[in-house]
A and B are shown apart, each in its own frame.
Chain A
Amino acid sequence: MKMFVSTLLLVSAAVLSGGGGAHAQSAVTEQNLVSDLQALSNRATVLDINKMQQEVLVEISTQHSEEAVNRTKYLDYFTNLPNFDVEILFAFDSDFIEPVSYPILGAMADALHNPILLGDQFLIVGHTDAKGDREYNLKLSQRRADVIREALVTTFRIAPDRIQAFGLGEEQLKDPSNPDGAVNRRVQLINLGPMQ
């Protein structure tokens, strides 16, 4: 019951902030993505991904509780920007994208080419569940975010300066009451606002 309640809370929080999560992933279309990812203002969010990666790594090696990695700094912050949770399936313990997830990648590419989003920059955030070593999961999620970015930039020709990739490992679970649950394995697509 506790798990159910916290899932509900997360879902309503996402809906309130304009984020996705209510769509069945098999049916996600360019239109779903564009409407949820549409910029709410002209404010640009500038992130130093290398610095963020270093900071998380330091926090992991010095803190022993997962909650120690500041949620407001990452997950809550991203949730306040236009965002969409995408379910992309990877092979176990690998950065190999299962072919069943190609269409959702294609839909992401269609959305990023849509004129409504064309001038905006995006962040891909990779998350794992809590099984396994924290630092290992951090690196795995970075590799997974990187291969999604690579597919978008090469095969689907999104300008490389429009997308950044960031792995958060198991540090920001979607459902902390169910740390090993599949719901935690996800990729967030976040609109950072207009290109600088």
Chain B
Amino acid sequence: VRAIRYMTAAVVAAGLAVSPAAAQTISYQQAVEGLSKACGADIDRSCKGVNLGDGRIFDCLQKNSAKVSENCKTAYAFTAASIAKRAAAQDAAPQLCATDIKRFCKEYDAGNGRIMRCLLSNTSKLDAPCNQAITDAGWR
């Protein structure tokens, strides 16, 4: 939760409007690509020793924003927003897929990814919001 709060703050600070209804999320690998490429020097200068875990790197870059390059600011805001979008989809999926789970996957026990695999094997029959949430969550 803390990480998400920092990410949201970072996005707002960078002045980027993020619509919750915005299109499909990108993978985690793609999401961190920009941060990795554009912020290496800034992290070296202002956040040496600070790791990615728990949103600390976003927090640090934001705290040092006076010294951080514009390129990096744009990049980390995009990274943080992408990760936050993915998190939101992961949180929303159980609710958005509840009806489909009842409809198609009643006989599956929760855990071990069984329900997710059941949903995926019924992809063509799922409600659109459930399908979209699974995609945005990075679960296919």
Contact = CB atoms under 8 A, between A and B. Distances in A.
Nearest to A109: B28
Main secondary structure of the interface of B (DSSP, over half): helix
Contacts of A91: 48-49
Interface stretch (B9-17, B33-41, B62-70): B33-41
B36 to A, nearest CB: 4
A102 B32 contact: yes
Given A100-B36, A106-B28, A156-B28, A115 B53 contact: no
Interface of A: 29-30, 91, 94-107, 109-110, 113-115, 117-119, 147, 150-151, 153-157, 194-195
**7 tightest CB-CB pairs across the interface, nearest first?**
A118-B113, A119-B112, A119-B113, A106-B29, A150-B53, A106-B28, A102-B36
A98 B48 CA distance: 9
B51 A97 contact: yes
Given A103-B32, A195-B111, 15 more contacts: A30-B27, A30-B29, A96-B49, A99-B43, A101-B36, A106-B27, A106-B28, A107-B28, A110-B28, A113-B137, A115-B139, A147-B53, A151-B53, A155-B53, A156-B83
Given A118-B139, A147-B53, A157 B117 contact: no
6 contacts: A95-B51, A103-B32, A106-B30, A119-B113, A155-B52, A157-B87
Given A100-B36, A105-B32, A110-B27, A119 B52 contact: no
B96 interface: no
